[in-house]
Every structure is written in structure tokens, then in C-alpha cells.
Chain A
Amino acid sequence: MEQQVTVAIIEDHPVVTEGVASWIRSDPGRRVRLVHTARDLTGLRGESRPSADVVILDLELSGELVTAQIPGLVATGYRVVAFSGHSDPAIVMETLDSGAHAYVSKEEGSEHLVEAVLAAAGDRPYVTRSQARAMLADQRPGRPELSQQELQALLLWFQGMSKASVGRRMSISENTVRQYISRARAKYAATGRTAPSKDALLARAIEDGVIKPGEIMPYTSFARAAANRPSLGTPGQ
């Protein structure tokens, strides 16, 4: 059996923490183990911080948006999955740009949270419908250019189809649907500010054949591409 993924929950509402813990417990494969829960981020700083592969982070703690704390968490080696009641595309984009692996809205939690945690632990892209929505709505000048196929897959996924149905609709395999959606996500990891989590995601995407290095070059400045290259060579760290 594969080693369990360890997870911490940072959430200021105990009832939500309890709900997330029950989703983790009811996972048939018992693939995730809860190691730490807290109502704020103080326990994740300093020398005696718990070791966890993934942090499930409520974006609003005691009424304050904590997207600005994500780069710090990522820098200390945590992978972050945002779990939020917000679904505003601008907040979703800000969260991903800050280095979070995935964004799961509270409505999507029961279906997607455990899977998103597992994907994050493996540095693999995971795109929820709220993430697809934010990518479709994105009009920022620095956004990556997505192909027609990637956009169509994202649109159908956002609309609520299962990936198998998207595949039937587009006359491609379910696996290719995943590939298109993951590639769109990887292109996002290659834009905006740099973060070790984004580099890791991109490196894994290249390793898995989701995306070719050439496909991300036009959206990265030469200086940044050069700075990123060393970390691209050592994935999974």
C-alpha cells in the first residue's frame, strides 16, 4: 500500500473542520491521514511546525482573507489546497497565482476535496469547476493563451458534465480530456509570480507528458525561464 498523505486543516469554524475530517475518514482507500487542525496559521510557522504534505486552508480566517499568507506557506514546503466559501474568479486566480495547488469551493468539497489533496501531494494539477470558471472568465493581460480544445474542455467541465461525458461530446477519450484540462492548469502555473509549488507542478506536468517545455516558453520571460530551470530539473522535492 502506498504511503498515506498527511494533511493539516486550517479552518476557523470547528463544524467545517469536523466535516472535512469526516470526508477524509470516509475515503474508501484511507489514502489521507489528518495530522493537525488549527483555527489560524501560527502553528505552521517556526521550528516546531507539524510536518504535513498538504495544508487545507480556509481562505477567510476570523473574517480576514489570507491569500497573502500562501507564498509563505509554500516557501516552507507545504502544498496548499484552498477551501473557501468564496467563488469570485478574481479570488480564485489570486489564490492560484500565490502558489496554491488547487481551489475547492465549499459547494464542491464533498466531491473534490480529498481528490484535490491527493493530486496536490503528487504535484499534479487538479481543476475544480470553480477553477475552470475562473480560467474561462480570466481577462488579465498576462493570462496564458489556451488552445481551442483546452478551452472547450474547460467550458464543458465548468458547465457540469462529467469528464467521461466531456470526452463523448468532444469525441476524445476521457484521458485526453484530463490532459487538456491539466495542460490549461499547467500553463497557468507557468505565468504570474514564481513559487516553488508552481515549479513543482510544472515539472511534474512535463514529466507526465501533459505539456512540453516548448508550449510554456512564450509566456515566460527569458530571465524567469533561466531562473526557473534549475528547480525544473529536480522535481518532487
Chain B
Amino acid sequence: MGPYLVRRLFAVLPVLAVVVTVVFLLIHLIPGDPVSVMLGPDATPTQIEATRQSLGLNRPLWEQLLGFYGRVLTGDLGQSYFLDRPVSRALWERAEPTLMLMLCALVVAVAIGVPSGTIAAAHRGSAWDRGLMMVSLLGVCIPGFWLSLNFIYFFAVRLGWLPAAGYVSIFTDPVAGLRYMVLPAFSLGFNQSALIARISRSCMLEVLQQDYIRTARAKGLSQRVVTWVHAFRNALVPVVTVIGITTAVLIGGAVVTEIVFNIPGLGRLIISAILRRDYPVVQGVVLVTATVYVLINLGVDLLYALIDPRIRYE
């Protein structure tokens, strides 16, 4: 296990290098220019040239890329062109809303997904099962961004129950913070809950057919005990890995959700950075997201290997 872990961790580095290079080239290929955006529409070409020079944007691309690598290795992500602060600080400020959103969405997804999948499996073929699975299929297919719009329309605008958009930190005002989180967390978590429900159901079904469950039942244990104590625990194993993957998927979903709900997280940061051509910020966000994404995937793999010894440490 030990050497396997080390090997896997080292394998992450080239992946990140690929990511950073690809993104660096991509963002510099985008037409448009940070300086024109910064100086406003009426800036003259000489002004623009002077500012380009002072930002080092006139140096050859490969030189900028090497410089970026060098700085990353020393832990320096550079200075944002636009936000008047180091990229690392901008990232740090934006991490909380995104993490909070992902956490809440994950809670929603699991809280809805796992019980409904289990119930459906326990009552296989019943109206419950069919109804739940129908809803969850629909849940997978409803576009999250469109769902968000409808949520805002009904719950914020029509009924006035919840704020339409915005973000309040849970640490400054817990009640308001949670109220602001409800709609985004549900829009983002709903798709995933449907997915988790479907996976939980099939895992439960598989487990329920195992010999030891039959034995338990034969012993005269009640259906409820069998379902929730014996089967549930074992079905949880693959479900946990799905939840891990879900977390990674939520990073992508968070981008759109943050935009619709005006949450000042990493997703909104990278979109506005792309629009402003704030190269250092785009690179910084990508690097951090990719690292987290890769680490989560690695974690899922390790967890899986830990749970299921049949998986070879290749």
C-alpha cells in the first residue's frame, strides 16, 4: 500500500504540468487583451503598449510560461492584473463560498439520494420504487442551470421565502448564511442526489441477494433490520466512492451555480477572469481546481482499494 500511494502521488505531478501548460497556452490564444480592459475603452495605443510592458506581457510566450513554472515551484502564483492583489490571496478569499456551496450540495445530494435509493431497493417493484426511480431519472436530466432559474422564480420571486441570490458567510451570520445557501445547494445537489439514488438502489439490490442477507432473513430478523443494518452497510461501499466522484463533479457544477446565484466563489472568479483576460488568476484557479480534482479522484481510488482488496495495486 505505501509504495503504491507514493507512486500514485508522484503520478499527479505530470498531470498538473499538462493542465497548467494547456491552460497557459489556451488563455494566451484567446483574442482580447487584459490591458484594453483595464485601461478602459478610450485608451490610446501608446498607453496600452506602456502598460503591456510594465506587466511583462510583451515578452515571448515561452519566457512567460517558464517564469510561471518557476514561480509556481516557489509557491508564488503571481499578481492579479485586475484585482490588485496576489492571486493566492484572491483564491483564498474565494475558497470559502465554493467550499460551502459544495458541502451543502453534497449534504443535499446524500440526504435525498441514499435514503430514496435504499427505500426503492427495499420495496423493489412497488409503486414506491417506480415512483422514486422515475423522479430520479427526471432529476438526472433536468439541467441544473435551468432548475436554478425556476427555483429563483418560484421560491424567491413568487413566494418570497428565500433570497434570490447573493452570499453571506455562515461565520458572520449563520442564519442568513444558511438561508442564502438553500436554493443554490438544492439546484446543485439535486442532479447528484438523483444519481446517488440510482446507484444506491442497484448496490442495495445486489447486496440484498447475497447469501448472508438470506441467512439473516432466515434467522427471522425483521425486514427493516435486514435492510438498514445488514444490507445498507455493505451497499454503502460503492456509494461512498460515488459520493467522492460527485464531489469532484460538483466543482464543475459550482461554476454555473455561482454565476446564476451571484456567489463570489472560485467559479465566478475564473469566469470573470477569463472575460477580463486576467491570465494569472485563470492559471491560479485552474491549478488549484485541478489539484483538488486530482486529489479527490486519487482519494476515491485509494478508498476503493482499501475497501475492496481485490483491486490490484498496479
A interacts with B: no
